[in-house]
Structure 1
Amino acid sequence: MWWGLISAVAAACAYGVGSVLQAVAARSVDQGGSGIDPGLLVRVLRQWRYLLGLGLDALGFLAQIAALRVLPLFVVQAALAASLAVTAVGTLTIGARLTVREWSAVAAVCVGLALLGISAHGEGSRPVGFMFHIGLLVGALVLGGIGFLAGHAPERLRCPVLGLVAGLCFGVVAIAGRVISTSSLVSLLSDPATYTVAVAGVLAMLFFASALQRGSVTTATALMIVGETVVPSLVGILALGDTTRHGFVLAATAGFVLAVAAALALARFGEVAAEPARDRA
């Protein structure tokens, strides 16, 4: 179980540091003229920091999958939301400043994860049927349809709905990663959950990027955090047999609420490249 906790924290650190490296790389290249510049992506991909950030994202995903094999979903997803604390501290290197409230949130994330760590009970997943795996793929496709419809919603609803749908897609990735069959290459390739990870992952990134383009970074990130933590955690408890150590239900509940609430307080760091660094009152 402890290596699962280490994997979850490693995933959070990899995602958080990767975000900062990608932001630094994006700010160091010529932004070009007004409007959308396709050449920007080419210039960014020439930056070693951006490539290193992508590599850290890949390592973070592998660490997340490893953690999901032995830990309850509510622990892993709360840890991933806590990657915003890593990003927040990392933005100090690119000129950002943290308020007292945000430093307090970083500390609260650490306390919340510590409570989750001591309360987690790792026994793997309760067996689920093939239809559950099919249902995950269908669910990802349904969320995809909702996300594309949300892109045409009224402006005041577009950003929060896209952020929430992106979070739910990330949650589907986590659930699929938890139940995916890895006993052999044949079982891996024949498992619908394998394709769910790819489909839901692409949709999540697409919808989150769209939400950031259409509204507040804070709003989009906050709704994404809710979607990727609360729903998967409930699925883990109700369908996959996630439990806490005996007598640690209150500690686990407090840790989850504290970690997620603190992550919400750090939601402005959901896309550090989206806003210029500036002083805050």
Structure 2
Amino acid sequence: MIPGLVAALAAAVCFGVATVLQALGARATTRGGVGGTLRAMVNPPFAAGLALDGLGFVAQLVALRSLPLYVVQAALAGALAVTAVTGALLLGMRLGRAEWAGVAAVCGGLALLGAAAGREGHRRPGAGFHWGLLVAAAVLVLCGAAAWRLRGPLRAGVLGLLCGFGFGVVGLAVRVLPGVDLPDVVPLLGDPALYALLGAGATAFVLLTEAVRGGSVTTATAGMVLGETGVPAVLGVLLLGDGTRHGMGPAAVAGFMVAVAGALTLARFGEVGGSEASPG
């Protein structure tokens, strides 16, 4: 279980630092349009951020295969604390008392979760659950297309929430995918959960990009945090058998709620290049 906790925290650190490096790379070019985006992507800080995203995803996979889902999802939301602190150091962003309290809440909540969490559940849902994840990914696409047409402050919140649900589907899919002995990947390729993972992940990234581009960064990121933590955590407990150490259930619930509340406090750092997270 210790390696899983280390992997979850490593994923949070990678994702949090990557966000700041990508903002540094994006600020290094003033050119707009596709050319500016491509120029930013080959900028060393931006490229380093992309590499950290890849490492973070690998660490996330390791954590999801050995920890309860509620621990991993809360840790990923805690990446906002890493972004906030790194942004303060590298981008000169201002952190007030509320933000520092949010960082402390995330750290304290995750520490409590780590102490209270048990091993991942070993309950394996049937094929119906795998197909259900694929259906959920398809519904996510339809809901995202409908939410795309919304206007005003509601749009960013709904798109962010749907993005969070998409990342939740990714976490659930990773948990139920079968182990693979290379080079025999046929069982994996025949599992609908694999395509749910790919579809939901791609949709989530598109929805989040549009949410922060055309609306409030804080609203979109808050919706994402709620979507990627709450529902997956409940499903992990009810369907996958995730649990806690004996007698530590209340502590785990408290740690989860404190960590998520801290992440919501830091929601404006969900896109450090956004207008709401200006440098000091």
TM score, norm. by length of structure 1:
0.95
Contact 1:69–1:124 (8 Å) recurs in 2: no
Trace 1:239-278 onto structure 2 (pairs within 5 A).
239-275=239-275, 277-278=278-279
2:158 paired with 1:157: no
Is 1:231 the counterpart of 2:231 in the alignment? Answer: yes
Task: Please state if 1:89 is matched with 2:85.
Answer: yes
2:53 maps to 57
Cα distance in 2 between the residues matched to 1:139 and 1:30 = 40
Counterpart of 1:206 in structure 2: which amino acid?
Answer: V
Per-residue Cα deviation, 1:76-95 (whole angstroms, up to 9, x for no partner): 00000000000000101111
Q: CA deviation at 1:51?
A: 1.2
Q: CA deviation at 1:31?
A: 3.0
User: Do the aligned residues in 2 keep the contact of 1:69 with 1:125 (CA within 8 Å)?
Assistant: no
Any idea what the Cα deviations from partners look like across 1:135-154, whole Å, max 9, x if unmatched? 10110110110011011124
Amino acid at match of 2:150: A
Q: Distance in 2 between matches of 1:253 and 1:230?
A: 11
Question: Displacement of 1:278 after TM fit?
Answer: 3.8
Within 5 Å, which residues of 2 pair with 1:139-154?
A: 139-154=136-151
Q: Deviations over 1:238-270 (max 9, x none)?
A: 100010010101110110000000000000000
Partner Cα separation in structure 2 for residue 70 and residue 118 of structure 1: 15
Question: 1: distance between equivalents of 2:42 and 2:153?
Answer: 37
How many aligned positions are there? 275
| Residues 1:111 and 2:108 are matched in the alignment | yes
Equivalent residue letter for 1:99: G
Contact 1:175 1:232 in 2 (8 A): yes
Checking the alignment, whether the CA contact within 8 Å between 2:133 and 2:196 is kept in structure 1 is yes
The question of whether the paired residues in 2 share the 8 Å contact of 1:18 and 1:52 is answered with yes
Q: Is the 8 A contact 2:121 2:243 kept in 1?
A: no
Deviations 1:23-48 (A, max 9, x none): 0000011234xxxx111121112211
Matches within 5 A, 1:124-135: 124-135=121-132
Matched residues in 2 for 1:45 and 1:123: separation? 37
- Over 6 Å off, 4+ runs: none
Superposition deviation, residue 157 in structure 1: 2.3
User: Residue 239 and residue 124 in structure 1: after superposition, are their counterparts in 2 closer, same or farther (change >3 A)?
Assistant: closer
What's the CA shift for 1:52? 1.1
Query: Which blocks of at least 5 consecutive residues in structure 1 are unaligned?
Result: none
- Return closer, same or farther for 1:260/1:123 CA change in 2, 3 Å cut-off: closer
- Residue identity in the other structure for 1:204: A
Counterpart Cα distance in 2 of 1:183 and 1:42: 36
Aligned-pair CA distance for 1:124? 4.1
- Partner residue in 2 for 1:73: 69
Structure 1 residue identity aligned to 2:66: V
Please tell me the residue identity of whatever aligns with 1:248. Answer: M
Aligned partner of 2:214 in structure 1 is: 214
Task: Tell me which amino acid in the other structure corresponds to 2:144.
Answer: G
d(CA) in 1 for partners of 2:56, 2:110: 17
Structure 2 unaligned segments of length 5 or more: list them. Answer: none
Q: How well do the aligned residues superpose, as a CA RMSD in angstroms? A: 1.2
Sequence identity, in percent?
A: 52
1:186 aligned partner: 186
Alignment of 1:164-183 (within 5 A): 164-183=161-180
